[in-house]
């Protein structure tokens, strides 16, 4: 039941703002299941494959997915996700925890800047657009594998700024692109022994329900107030992980 609730919260968050939900799921798994950081990252990626699938299907039914852009993003992300997972496995616990804390705070800042970065959009076309999407996939795939997240924090700004998508289209496309990238990262972490399979079924059940609800609400509600709440929560979680990494380092 606890894993279901964690999955529900992560799925609702991911479906609402177009992220995988790992930034919510990972600290909760570390806190309540006492997983080490790399186990939480690997288990998160395994579950996030279902976040992307359910969320993308929900957005697709609303006409808010660009399959061609998703394929280009995933084409390179699926390669670098493997290297990101291997790099995460090589880091000491305190370094990975610190890196995740910093990453979560950066994600919160991107969430807060959502209403503003679209005005700087200069949509590219042709080979420039293709190259930009492939490049975004390289970066987002590596961070997905390393941080145990879907990579939407990087994909969504790229889709808005480079492709000219509106927010809903960017979120739906990001969710679709994270499916193969997340699967590769999860497979790599599983091979390294970083996936705790006993809690995955509960996470998946919660994620499927939560992502559908979040994706549906995203087309019904203004996300402004929720974005501020989520950003504040992420800053708190990230700061806590950074403090915790300092304690681990001092040991």
* Residue showing tokens 């994270």: 178
pTM score, whole prediction: 0.81
What are the pLDDT tens digits along the chain (251 aa)? 899 999 888 878 776 765 667 788 888 898 899 999 999 999 998 888 877 787 788 889 888 899 999 999 999 999 999 999 999 999 998 898 898 888 888 877 877 777 776 666 677 778 888 998 999 999 989 988 888 877 777 788 888 888 888 777 887 898 899 889 889 999 999 999 999 999 999 998 888 888 778 777 766 766 566 667 667 777 887 888 888 888 888 76
Looking at residue 170, what is its pLDDT?
83
The candidate with the shortest Cα–Cα distance to 171, out of 124, 232, 218, is 218
* Residue showing tokens 């699967």: 183
Looking at residue 250, what is its pLDDT?
79
C-alpha–C-alpha distance, residues 212 and 46, integer Å: 18
**Cα→Cα distances 86→82, 100, 248, 251, Å:** 6, 15, 22, 25
- Residue 184 gets the label, from left (phi > 0), alpha (psi -120 to 50) or beta, of alpha
Looking at residue 202, what is its pLDDT?
92
Looking at residue 207, what is its pLDDT?
83
Looking at residue 79, what is its pLDDT?
95
Looking at residue 72, what is its pLDDT?
95
């Amino acid at each position: 039941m606890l894993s279901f609730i964690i999955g529900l919260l992560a799925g609702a968050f991911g479906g609402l703002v177009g992220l995988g939900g790992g930034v919510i799921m990972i600290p909760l798994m570390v806190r309540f299941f006492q997983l080490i950081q790399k186990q939480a990252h690997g288990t998160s990626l395994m579950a996030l494959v279902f976040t992307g699938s359910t969320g993308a299907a929900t957005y697709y039914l609303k006409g808010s997915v660009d399959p061609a852009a998703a394929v280009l993003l995933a084409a390179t992300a699926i390669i670098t996700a493997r290297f990101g997972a291997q790099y995460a496995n090589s880091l000491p616990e305190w370094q990975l925890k610190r890196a995740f804390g910093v990453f979560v705070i950066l994600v919160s800042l991107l969430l807060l800047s959502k209403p503003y970065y679209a005005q700087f959009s200069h949509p590219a076309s042709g080979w420039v657009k293709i190259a930009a999407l492939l490049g975004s996939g390289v970066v987002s795939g590596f961070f997905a594998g390393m941080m145990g997240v879907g990579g939407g924090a990087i994909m969504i700004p790229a889709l808005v700024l480079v492709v000219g998508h509106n927010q809903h289209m960017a979120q739906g496309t990001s969710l679709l692109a994270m499916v193969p990238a997340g699967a590769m990262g999860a497979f790599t972490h599983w091979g390294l022994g970083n996936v705790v399979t006993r809690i995955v079924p509960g996470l998946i059940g919660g994620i499927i329900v939560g992502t559908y609800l979040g994706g549906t609400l995203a087309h019904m509600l203004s996300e402004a107030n929720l974005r501020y709440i989520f950003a504040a929560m992420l800053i708190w979680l990230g700061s806590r992980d950074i403090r915790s990494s300092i304690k681990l380092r001092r040991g």
